[in-house]
Amino acid sequence: MRVGAAGSPNLGAMDSRTGLPVVGMVGAGQLARMTHQAAISVGQSLRIFAAAPDDGAALVAADVVIGDHTDLGDLGRFAAGCDVLTFDHEHVPTEVVTALAAAGHAVFPSAAALRYAQDKQAMRARLGELGIGVPRWAPVRTAQELLEFGERVGWPLVLKAVRGGYDGAGVWIVGSGQEAAELVGSGIPLIAEERVPLVRELSVLVARSPFGQGAAWPVVETVQQDGVCVQVLAPAPGLAAVTAERLQALGLRIAAELGVVGVLAVELFETADGVLVNELAMRPHNSGHWTIEGARTSQFEQHLRAVLDYPLGVTGMTAAAVVTANVLGGPAVGPGIDERLHHVMARWPEAKVHLYGKRVRPGRKLGHVTVLGDRLELVRERAVGAARYLAEGVRP
């Protein structure tokens, strides 16, 4: 494989049955599940490192290793059977990623890049150096630091854990220093951030290969509810073409500056004064699930192409309007998932359903539904209706 040619080590685990390199993904949630699905097309079978045998991706893949993703020994044994390692989440400690690379494994994204998706403080500092707009922020270790920052940007403001946040976890809106006293005193490394007056949230998804090739998908609008993405509208309605192009260029620039290999999602705040970067993710991302049917190359296939240093695929849309709605677990009442699926297929025969093989738990992302068409509002109504029925078993 060309990872070797590009200067990275080639361990030569090449699958003798297929003549193709072996890609290992650490983490076995829906992102690994859908990456495996895409891998099948390009002759691959994703090797998966799972926490438990009933993880969503472990249910559907042939080559699954169970282990602890913070344990270098477990990961080292997994990596020995892979030509390239990549991730379905950001939770492998930076020092473990560094150690895997030092042991000769090809790891994409690298620890040096991944750090900026793991550490919110490092990311903001780095983007600041690059002159890229982010909300005003400050590291906060003491009540005094929080008070000073609050006086500067106003209350309420946002506190975020520097590491480990996800889907609204590790994020707190606080109205005063008093309200945040316990949190600030807990010793968790925090940053404080101004609460930006949002018009809406956007996301730009790009991919980059070790060779340096880049590809960007159309910019999308993401609709959040309680800190969790519930809808993705592609392309972002009413976004000026010049702005969309500028944001694609921004995504590609961040990928290049940080040395990202694979998919990079740049979550954005649109404000009356412009666009600010909110968060980065260096893996396939919820805001890109629409690309499975809605783009000529899906984010999952593209991530594989990128980490294999294959040329990237075209990213054009397959329809004028594409909407993905997440299926978030509702109360466990009403018809079971099999019955719900039956009704959804009858009512919305054009809906593309994706279920992640998870047990229902309130608020848990169980799947998503994508609908394609000509008119955004119609497409959106269908996607949201189908997702809600799958989630709650109630008719719209």
| Alpha carbon of residue 159 to chain centroid | 21
Q: What DSSP state is assigned to residue 274?
A: E
355 lies in the site for its own copies, by CB under 8 A? yes
Three-state SS at 69: coil
φ and ψ of 259, to 5 deg: 70, 35
Q: If binding is defined by CB under 8 A, does position 296 make contact with its own copies?
A: yes
Cβ proximity to its own copies, 55 vs 221, nearer residue = 55
> Residue 60 or 266: which CB sits closer to its own copies?
60
Peptide bond into 109 cis (omega under 30): yes
Residue pair 262/86 in contact by the 8 Å Cβ criterion:
yes
Distances in whole angstroms, Cα of residue 297 to Cα of each of 30, 66, 140, 207, 351: 18, 30, 42, 11, 19
Count of residues near its own copies by CB under 8 A: 54
Nearer to its own copies, 33 or 380 (CB): 33
* Binding status of residue 313 toward its own copies by CB under 8 A: yes
Out of 6, 14, 132, 228, the only residue in the binding site for its own copies (CB under 8 A) is 14
329/342 Cα distance (integer angstroms):
17
**From 77, 342, 361, 375, residue interacting with its own copies (rule: CB under 8 A):** 342
Q: Is 359 in the site for its own copies (CB under 8 A)?
A: yes
Site string for its own copies, 33-62 (x = CB under 8 A): xx-xx-xxxxx-x--------x---xxxxx
Q: Considering only the stretches 117-125, 128-136, 193-201, 343-351, report the one whose residues sit in contact with its own copies under the rule CB under 8 A.
A: 343-351
Q: For 323-341, give one letter per residue: b (16+ CB within 10 A) or e.
A: bbbbbbbbeeeeeebeebb
Closest to 121 in 3D by CA, of 189, 186, 178, 180: 189
- Residue 251 or 367 with smaller CB distance to its own copies: 367
Q: Quick one: how far is CA 66 from the chain centroid?
A: 22
Q: Indicate whether 64 belongs to the interface with its own copies (CB under 8 A).
A: yes
What is the CA 366 to chain-centroid distance, rounded? 15
For residues 69 and 354, which CB has a smaller minimum distance to its own copies in the complex? 354
Provide the binding-site residues for its own copies, judged by CB under 8 A.
Answer: 1-2, 14, 17-21, 33-34, 36-37, 39-43, 45, 54, 58-62, 64, 296-297, 305, 310-314, 318-319, 336-338, 341-342, 345-346, 349-350, 352-357, 359-360, 367, 372
